Amino acid sequence: IIIWSVANETTPSPDRDHTLISMAEYVHRLDNTRLVTSALNHVRYKGKVVTIDDSLCKALDVVGVNEYLGWYSPWPAKPGDMIWENPYDKPLIMSEFGAEALYGRHGSADSNCCWTEERQAQVYKDQLTMFRNIPFLRGTCPWILADFRSETRLNPTYQQGWNRKGLLSDKGLKKKAWLVMQNYYKHLGNSD
């Protein structure tokens, strides 16, 4: 265990804040050797500026953000032009990012409609381009390592009861996005 998380994608409200701030304080009392975070998805977009906008951040040591630019929502600007703001002055971990692809499906990298490995790889490349411009980014966690069963995933052609965001197929076979992330992590410490 490297970090404790108190929640995932909760909606800001006074009751939520009270409960989760109390949880964060409790976790700090139980284990003062590890940092506390939460995976948030409440950010504000204004043109090419993304502002972390969740009141829970004040109680966290590290801010986690789940975001799927290029997959669930279009890019508001070119990935390399995106600017992230963090009014809480805390380190950021991109706790979820990625796109879905059906292993072995190939074709266009330009459209989400086809669920191709090329599209998934392109979304990852775009994400990594954006990440290079976030000075307070301290970690990344692609969502997710391998495709997994999820009965709520109802697309009859591509999902069939599976979440297909894995870098690996449900059989452990590497998708093109695996190679994108492998290369990123391999060269992460070798920046010019």
Distance CA 109, CA 77 (A): 18
Do 168 and 175 contact (CB within 8 A), yes or no? yes
Cα dihedral: 24, 30, 34, 36 (round 10): -10
Q: Quickly list H helices, the chain.
A: 14-30, 117-131, 176-187
pLDDT in tens, 120-143: 999 999 999 999 999 999 999 999
The Cα–Cα gap between 41 and 12 comes to 10
pLDDT along the chain (192 residues), means of 10: 96 97 98 97 96 96 97 96 97 98 94 92 98 97 97 86 96 98 90 55
pTM of the model: 0.94
Beta strands 3-8 and 35-40 are: parallel
In this predicted structure, what is the pLDDT of residue 85? 97
Nearest to 132 by CA among 176, 83, 178, 65: 83
Burial of 2 (0-12, 13-18, 19+ CB in 10 A): exposed
